[in-house]
Amino acid sequence: MTRQNILITGASSGLGKGMAIEFAKLGRNLALCARRVERLTELQTELLAINPNIKVLIKALDVNDHDAVFSVFKEFDAEMGGLDRIIVNAGMGKGASIGTGYFYANKQTAETNFVAALAQCEAAMEIFRAKNAGHLVTISSISAVSSYRRAMTVYAATKAALSSMSEGLRIDLLGTPIKVSTVHPGFIRSEINEKVKKVPFIVDTETGCKAMVKAIEKEGENSYVPTWPWAFLQWFLRIAPKSILKKMS
């Protein structure tokens, strides 16, 4: 099944922008939203240059404005003639070790990566339940399968919560035509980690986003991308000793 009309949140940069480029190459219509509308305007021009036959709509959206999430999703659904796939991608990675004076940064990450993701899932599922069709995609992280220290502590916790919520939604939707997929990217170079120098198995944005889109198109329940090495390493990370996890973060 071809999901022609796709909404992506957090599309102005990083993985959201990278996925939009790959979907444009596939000839999909795109509904893109993010806080930085000027970047969306530039991306819109870039996507139409890649494929002038697609429709690209853009809207400003701060996913922490939960009422706006519902209204923007509904507007896109109406303007696109129906949304076939919604990708919950917007997120952030601010923070530091708990108890070191960075509560508000950690709180912002928790609210953006989970509470705002809940709002996006709610808005998406209202649309999909109404027509009993659609594909919800949540962008989690390889960090969701384990726990980490320092700035990764809260980030990993939010991604684990997102993965768990997505699994619960899949159970809730058993026997219906609505699909829910969770993508767990490994280390992909983007704005969220551009200052981190030593990262194992990291790939560039284009390579990572191609792998993400390929996984999304398969509509599996859980994917770990790029497949090598993350589809295999995720099993090790689940049982790895704390001493090893400490060295990795």
Of 104, 148, 155, 224, the catalytic one is 155
CA 183-188-191 angle, to 5 degrees, is: 110
- Provide the H-helix boundaries in 26-151: 37-50, 66-79, 103-110, 116-131
CA 108-111-114 angle, to 5 degrees, is: 135
Sign of CA dihedral 217, 138, 147, 12: positive
**Is 155 annotated as catalytic?**
yes
Whether residue 48 contacts residue 56, with contact meaning beta carbons closer than 8 Å, is answered with: yes
AA identity, residue 99:
G
Distances (CA, A) of 70 to 18, 75, 89, 105: 24, 9, 16, 25
CA 13-212-35 angle, to 5 degrees, is: 25
- Close Cβ partners of 217 (under 8 Å, ≥ 6 residues apart): none
Active-site amino acid positions = 155
